[in-house]
């Protein structure tokens, strides 16, 4: 386990070259977060991907205040479906989501700091690599 500032390199290191299962539970899906999903996941070999589950909050104020890029998320989902040619994608919602959790196979990122360029609190997140860590 290590503590670090959220950045593109740490997210890129999380996603295997041939992921089998991906879980994204950030609560908010900011433009920066969606861009990282697109650049990282869509650039991988997805031939063995059997499940991609994305959780989000669906609230009017998240749209109004640009907390979640719903159109960017929709575009990502369409591209993922086009690439995989399957129904492996699940989208779920919960109004109380806040913590950020990303999982790819046996690696995890868990925390509450935002994956954004503008992170005024300088928040840290915990990175767990491997199930028994």
What are the tens digits of pLDDT across the range 30-58?
888 888 888 889 999 999 999 999 988 88
- Band of the pLDDT at 130, cuts 50, 70, 90? very low
Measure Cα distances from 126 to 2, 16, 44, 108, 120 in Å.
6, 18, 24, 9, 18
7 or 41, higher pLDDT: 41
Measure Cα distances from 111 to 27, 61, 74 in Å.
11, 23, 24
Task: Delimit the domains of the chain by residue range.
Answer: 2-129
What are the tens digits of pLDDT across the range 55-104?
888 888 888 888 889 999 999 999 999 999 888 999 998 888 877 778 88
Backbone angles phi, psi at 64, to 5 degrees: -60, -45
DSSP 125: E
pTM for the complete prediction? Answer: 0.76
Q: Which CATH number fits domain 2-129: 3.30.420, 1.10.3470, 2.60.120, 3.30.870?
A: 3.30.870
Closest CA to 32 of 55, 1, 11: 11
């Amino acid at each position: 386990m290590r503590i670090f500032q959220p950045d593109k390199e740490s997210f890129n290191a999380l996603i295997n070259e041939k992921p089998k299962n991906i879980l994204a539970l950030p609560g908010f899906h900011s433009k920066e977060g969606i861009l990282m999903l697109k650049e990282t996941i869509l650039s991988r070999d997805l031939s063995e991907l059997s499940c991609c589950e994305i959780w989000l909050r669906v609230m009017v104020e998240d749209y109004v205040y640009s907390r979640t890029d719903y159109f960017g998320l929709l575009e990502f989902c369409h591209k993922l479906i086009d690439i995989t040619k399957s129904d492996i994608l699940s989208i779920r919602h919960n109004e109380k989501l806040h913590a950020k959790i990303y999982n790819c196979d046996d690696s995890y990122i868990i925390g509450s700091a935002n994956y954004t360029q503008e992170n005024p609190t300088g928040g840290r997140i915990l990175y767990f690599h491997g199930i028994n860590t």
